[in-house]
Structure 1
């Protein structure tokens, strides 16, 4: 290993002292389209075709070259035999024959002087030549040169034909392979689109691959996956519809006896037991109405009644209806095309959840089409942030979260709005609490920045 002045430990230490830190290298990432199955299949086909073409080309090239060179060597050795006989008989040497001729490769001459005969392919006067040499008297070599230009041109033409045919074969194979793979990937993309539609709630979506309906037709793996997805969607749809009908039927059946129970409770004499009965009956009636509302939302038959709604006054009505101290902040008021009744339902449930499960202060902020409800309690549980509200989830307590957030999320979907749950910080306190952000599809600016207590 060579060394220099900068390689000594002392000099290297000085260099490190003034060296600026290098920025971290970002890992190289391929473009997103390279992750597709079509691209991977095309690369695989191209690599395999190139490897096969190279292997066949090399084999053909070697075989033809050996044959051509072998024939040229045989001709050269035959001429060498004739020239040796003429030289020994004292005759005149023919053209292309000489004793130690100029241009004779040194290695071949040394071989001939040692008493052996041999051949070698080389160049003489910039032309391909096959040399054949043998021993002569006086430590000299008799050599014959045979023109090899025709054989070299034959091999060059063969190489060009191999390359051209390989390129055409690879191109044709790529086209055919891409067509075949694209047909498969198109069916896979359709299956993935249907799966996403089912995940979004469209339980009527089906792949409908014709191969799954023809018993006499063999099914490939894609058709098997499509058929399994359709079967799963049908089974899931049947179970959900059964649960929805059960929920709706139970709620409807409970309404009649609850109405009579409520009327009977109103006839009871005043007292603490009567208050408890009326409170429980009211709670049961609210739960029944919530179940009916959820069953309607699950059926996805709800229709919105759009109207021009000014958001700041609507937020103030929601706060007044809650009967609690909630701060209303208006950063930017707008007129939104939405269903005011459903929007009040969503905001009322969010505010009610914050008052019941959070901690004061509770605020409702209107900033254009974005409405935020925040409290300063322990925040939403992790499962709710990750998977959304779950019906009757208790999280180890008897209070649970009820159905309010589930209804709020369902009504927001009917409005075409986006409802996101998150936490402002770790635990309760001035920087913590639960945050629910409702984003409406759009609106028209109305102006004003202010606070309403």
Structure 2
């Protein structure tokens, strides 16, 4: 399943989340520290300016000489502060006085004049600026360190998850011996996290599934072997019956049972995975024509491009024979077998394969639509194709009919 274009890996999304949260936290703390220190610094400068304004006001009212920083109607006084003083109020304001940060304190002098005191604010401004730089660099360092530590921790988790996913894919591909074997699941003294729990559950599921499949395979093989002996005797007895319709029916059913037993034995051998190839060079077109002749069916053979292949002739004939037989048994004429290079296609013009077969492949003893048979022919074909190292796929043609495609290595 493809992820949306905006979805990345767990490590990338975790790193992005950590970065965003660290940036938000650093910004919040930086703003709180900046506001707190700035308020404290401005309050101290304001108190100092107001104190000197009070002294200057006393000197002005007493007719004494004003302090050096006290002036009447200075030019650099902010207009808003001047208006406040003319209204009879005292106030303070920070502004630049000839390019230098200054804390102004102003109040009414007499009539239309304003008495103002200018206090150098440069040191406080430099302190706040240095604090802002320190907050910025320390936040960047903290974010980088947290991101590295978080990425390291998340990567360890994602690496274990990727290993678990890889084992799950191997199991789904048929490797039932695959296990995660997470070290945490084997050491009870170590803390068990969620990833270890998933790994343990997957290992348990694989072991249970393997046990059930092995039991099924043993049962199939045992049943087939046990049926072989009585069926041989039954076949011999059927041959001794007098000619007639009842005898033909008995012989037909006995032959069907023998075919079913042989198919079960072949499936059990394929399930063991111990089949060995006996390869030889074969002309694919000639082999296909030989299979059609042996089937005794009216199947058209088209050789678009003939090739020589190194393969096991008996197994390849078994695969093609089963595909042709299935096309005639469950489809409709015309049935066409096409050889084009190393790709062999068998197509009929019937109702097509069932949806489950196209999606998941053939399943033994499963048929749909009232069709006859046990679903073993295509199962054997798939198993023999795997032994050959070939790929057998199934589809339905757009204009109707089932299509089986065998691609040789």
TM bin (shorter chain): over 0.9
Q: Is the 8 A contact 1:33 1:39 kept in 2?
A: no
Q: Is the 8 A contact 2:53 2:116 kept in 1?
A: yes
Taking a change above 3 Å as real, the CA distance of residues 375 and 30 of structure 1, as seen in their structure-2 partners, is closer
For normalisation by structure 2, the TM-score amounts to: 0.96
Q: Secondary structure at the match of 1:395?
A: coil
2:142 is matched with 169
Q: Does 1:436 align with 2:392?
A: no
2:290 is matched with 317
Taking a change above 3 Å as real, the CA distance of residues 221 and 285 of structure 1, as seen in their structure-2 partners, is same
Paired residues in the alignment total: 408
CA-CA distance at 1:269 after TM superposition: 2.1
Q: Is the 8 A contact 2:362 2:375 kept in 1?
A: no
2:165 is matched with 192
CA-CA distance at 1:40 after TM superposition: 1.0
Taking a change above 3 Å as real, the CA distance of residues 33 and 336 of structure 1, as seen in their structure-2 partners, is farther
Q: Does 1:364 align with 2:337?
A: yes
Q: Does 1:122 align with 2:95?
A: yes
CA-CA distance at 1:338 after TM superposition: 2.2
Q: Does 1:259 align with 2:232?
A: yes
Q: Does 1:422 align with 2:390?
A: no
2:48 is matched with 75
| 1:376-428 Cα deviation digits (max 9, x unpaired) | 11111112112211222232426145310111111112222111111113xxx
2:326 is matched with 353
Q: Distance in 2 between matches of 1:127 and 1:401?
A: 97
Q: Secondary structure at the match of 1:296?
A: helix
| 1:239-262 Cα deviation digits (max 9, x unpaired) | 110010000000011111111111
Q: Is the 8 A contact 2:330 2:371 kept in 1?
A: no
Q: Secondary structure at the match of 1:397?
A: coil
Superposed counterparts of 1:113-152, under 5 Å: 113-152=86-125
1:201 is matched with 174
1:308 is matched with 281
Q: Distance in 1 between matches of 2:60 and 2:309?
A: 113
- Structure 2 unaligned residues grouped into runs of 5+: none
Superposed counterparts of 1:292-303, under 5 Å: 292-303=265-276
Q: Does 1:412 align with 2:380?
A: no
2:347 is matched with 374
Q: Is the 8 A contact 2:53 2:106 kept in 1?
A: yes
Q: 1:275 aligns with which of 248, 255, 265?
A: 248
Q: Distance in 1 between matches of 2:133 and 2:278?
A: 75
Q: Distance in 2 between matches of 1:188 and 1:32?
A: 21
Higher deviation after alignment, 298-307 or 183-192: 298-307
Q: 1:341 aligns with which of 314, 318, 321?
A: 314
CA-CA distance at 1:62 after TM superposition: 0.5
Taking a change above 3 Å as real, the CA distance of residues 230 and 362 of structure 1, as seen in their structure-2 partners, is same
Taking a change above 3 Å as real, the CA distance of residues 337 and 213 of structure 1, as seen in their structure-2 partners, is same
| 1:137-181 Cα deviation digits (max 9, x unpaired) | 022110011111111111111111111111111011010000000
Superposed counterparts of 1:97-108, under 5 Å: 97-108=70-81
Q: Distance in 2 between matches of 1:169 and 1:304?
A: 63
Q: Secondary structure at the match of 2:111?
A: helix
CA-CA distance at 1:30 after TM superposition: 9.4
Q: Distance in 2 between matches of 1:90 and 1:408?
A: 118
1:9 is matched with none
CA-CA distance at 1:298 after TM superposition: 1.5
Taking a change above 3 Å as real, the CA distance of residues 152 and 31 of structure 1, as seen in their structure-2 partners, is farther
Q: Which runs of 4+ in 1 moved over 3 A?
A: 29-34
Higher deviation after alignment, 42-51 or 386-395: 386-395
For normalisation by structure 1, the TM-score amounts to: 0.87
Q: Secondary structure at the match of 2:44?
A: helix
Q: Secondary structure at the match of 2:404?
A: strand
Taking a change above 3 Å as real, the CA distance of residues 316 and 308 of structure 1, as seen in their structure-2 partners, is same
Superposed counterparts of 1:33-112, under 5 Å: 34-112=7-85
Q: Distance in 1 between matches of 2:6 and 2:162?
A: 14
Q: Distance in 2 between matches of 1:293 and 1:120?
A: 98
Taking a change above 3 Å as real, the CA distance of residues 30 and 72 of structure 1, as seen in their structure-2 partners, is farther
- Structure 1 unaligned residues grouped into runs of 5+: 1-28, 426-430, 442-453
Q: Secondary structure at the match of 1:143?
A: strand
Q: Secondary structure at the match of 1:93?
A: coil
